[in-house]
């Protein structure tokens, strides 16, 4: 009888060791609300009272009003506040009868979304206010970026193109430490186009999940700048986040800044920055919520 008990315990230990290790949660994990108790480094959640023109001034916007967008555009020309998207997990008021403190934000691109004569790209990328290209507080120790995304059926992506939606670009612009993206990844075969993908610095996919057509999808990516690792967390709707990868090796060096929004690459060219095909009369968008970066030193991740 004792031998059977020991065998059963060993089997359970084997199953447990095969799963990604779940972090110490500093956030509420109930089904109706999500609290943030890890220290916030940059808060990109959108206060319900903010207006589009608030994003045009450094005194009122949670993001840098000057970057990264088409020449001659203001952020008030680019962003929308969808009223029918509901609220994402970390924007929720918790009480179903209460008014949410935060609201979703939609980033859009058009034919005018050409940044600094980069004619191949269509681009609109939010940068956190205070996230400097060198010596940013968000590239030291262990940091976790949180974001939720939801499709806008009236401004659909063309998934025959490659899209970057959240990424961290090194200070010398030579590489991205990670990419969160969708669509058809240029030069890579066998990756379904209708998935959200997390790629490492070498542009190799480390995890993916199908795109939901009508629900919020919640993500968090932890970057350990001391150990050079990244780890991915995910949930749908109002479910608590769960670790979906282990802490995998990644080159997080090179400082730089986070960007959130849309960078749509062209097709039909090897010079994606300067040339290639983009549709005319472009009107595409992606809805974001629950956007913030927290300090995850000591294993703290808000789930």
Torsion of the alpha carbons at 64, 67, 73 and 79, rounded to the nearest 10: -60
Q: What is the mean pLDDT of residues 2-24?
A: 44
Percentage of residues of the chain with pLDDT beyond 90: 84
Share of the chain above pLDDT 70, in %: 87
User: What are the structure tokens assigned to 159, written together?
Assistant: 């998934």
pLDDT bracket for residue 96 (50, 70, 90) = low
Higher-confidence residue of 277 and 27: namely 277
Among candidates 81, 76, 75, 126, which has minimal Cα distance to 104?
Answer: 81
pLDDT at 99: 67
- CATH code assigned to 23-301: 2.60.120.1160
Position 11 confidence tier, pLDDT thresholds 50, 70, 90: very low
The mean pLDDT of the chain is 90
**Looking at residue 207, what is its pLDDT?**
98
Q: Tens digit of pLDDT for each residue in 210-250?
A: 999 999 999 999 999 999 999 999 999 999 999 999 999 99
CA dist., res. 296 & res. 251, Å (int):
18
Least confident stretch, 4-18, 74-88, 114-128, 261-275 = 4-18
Confidence of residue 8 (pLDDT cuts 50, 70, 90): very low
Q: Is the pLDDT of residue 32 over 90?
A: no
Query: If you average pLDDT over residues 160-169, what whole number do you get?
Result: 98
What single string gives the DSSP state of each residue in the chain? -HHHHHHHHHHHHHHHHHSPPPPEE-S--SSS-----SPEEEE--EETT--GGGGG-TTT-SB-TTSSS-TT--GGGTEE--SSS---GGG--SSTTSPPSEE-EEEEEETT---TT-TT-EEEEE-BTT--SSS-GGGSSEEEEEEEEEE-TTS---TTSEEEEEEEE-TTSS-EEEEEEEE--TT--S--SSEEEEE-TTS-EEEEEEPPSSS-EEEEEEEETTTTEEEEEEEETTPPPEE-S--EE----S--EEEEEEEE--BS-S-TTT--B--SS-EEEEEEEEEEEEE-GGGEE--
Determine contact, residues 251/201, Cβ cutoff 8 Å.
yes
If one compares 31 and 273, the residue with the highest pLDDT of the two is 273
Tokens encoding 183: 């669509």
Residue 6 reports pLDDT greater than 50: no
Encode pLDDT of 254-266 as tens digits.
999 999 999 999 9
**Using omega within 30 degrees of 0 as the cis cutoff, is the peptide bond preceding 241 cis?**
no
The 3-class secondary structure across 213-256, one letter per residue, is: CCCCEEEEEEEECCCCEEEEEEEECCCCCEECCCCEECCCCCCC
Query: What pLDDT does 34 receive?
Result: 78
């Amino acid at each position: 009888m004792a031998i059977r008990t020991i065998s059963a315990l060993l089997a359970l230990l084997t199953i447990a060791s095969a799963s990604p290790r779940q972090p110490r949660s500093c956030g509420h994990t109930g089904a109706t609300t999500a609290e943030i108790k890890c220290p916030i480094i940059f808060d990109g959640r959108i206060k319900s009272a903010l207006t589009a023109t608030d994003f045009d001034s450094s005194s009122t916007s949670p993001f840098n009003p000057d970057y990264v967008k088409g020449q001659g555009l203001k952020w008030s020309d680019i962003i929308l506040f969808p009223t029918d998207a509901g609220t994402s997990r970390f924007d929720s008021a918790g009480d179903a009868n209460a008014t949410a403190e935060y609201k979703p934000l939609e980033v859009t691109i058009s034919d005018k979304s050409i940044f600094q004569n980069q004619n191949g790209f269509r681009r609109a990328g939010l940068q956190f206010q205070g996230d400097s290209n060198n010596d940013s507080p968000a590239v030291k120790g262990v940091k976790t970026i949180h974001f939720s995304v939801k499709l806008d059926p009236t401004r659909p992506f063309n998934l025959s193109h490659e899209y970057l939606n959240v990424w961290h670009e090194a200070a010398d612009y030579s590489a991205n430490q990670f990419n969160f993206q969708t669509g058809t990844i240029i030069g890579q075969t066998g990756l379904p186009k209708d998935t959200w993908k997390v790629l490492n610095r070498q542009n190799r996919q480390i995890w993916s999940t199908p795109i939901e057509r009508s629900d919020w999808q919640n993500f968090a990516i932890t970057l350990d700048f001391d150990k050079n690792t990244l780890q991915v967390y995910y949930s749908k709707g109002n479910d608590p986040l769960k670790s979906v990868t282990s802490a995998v090796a990644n080159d997080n060096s090179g400082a730089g800044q986070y960007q959130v929004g849309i960078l749509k690459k062209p097709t039909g060219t090897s010079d994606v920055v300067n040339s290639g095909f983009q549709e005319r009369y472009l009107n595409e968008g992606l809805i974001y919520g629950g956007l913030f970066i927290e300090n995850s030193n000591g294993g703290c991740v808000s789930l």
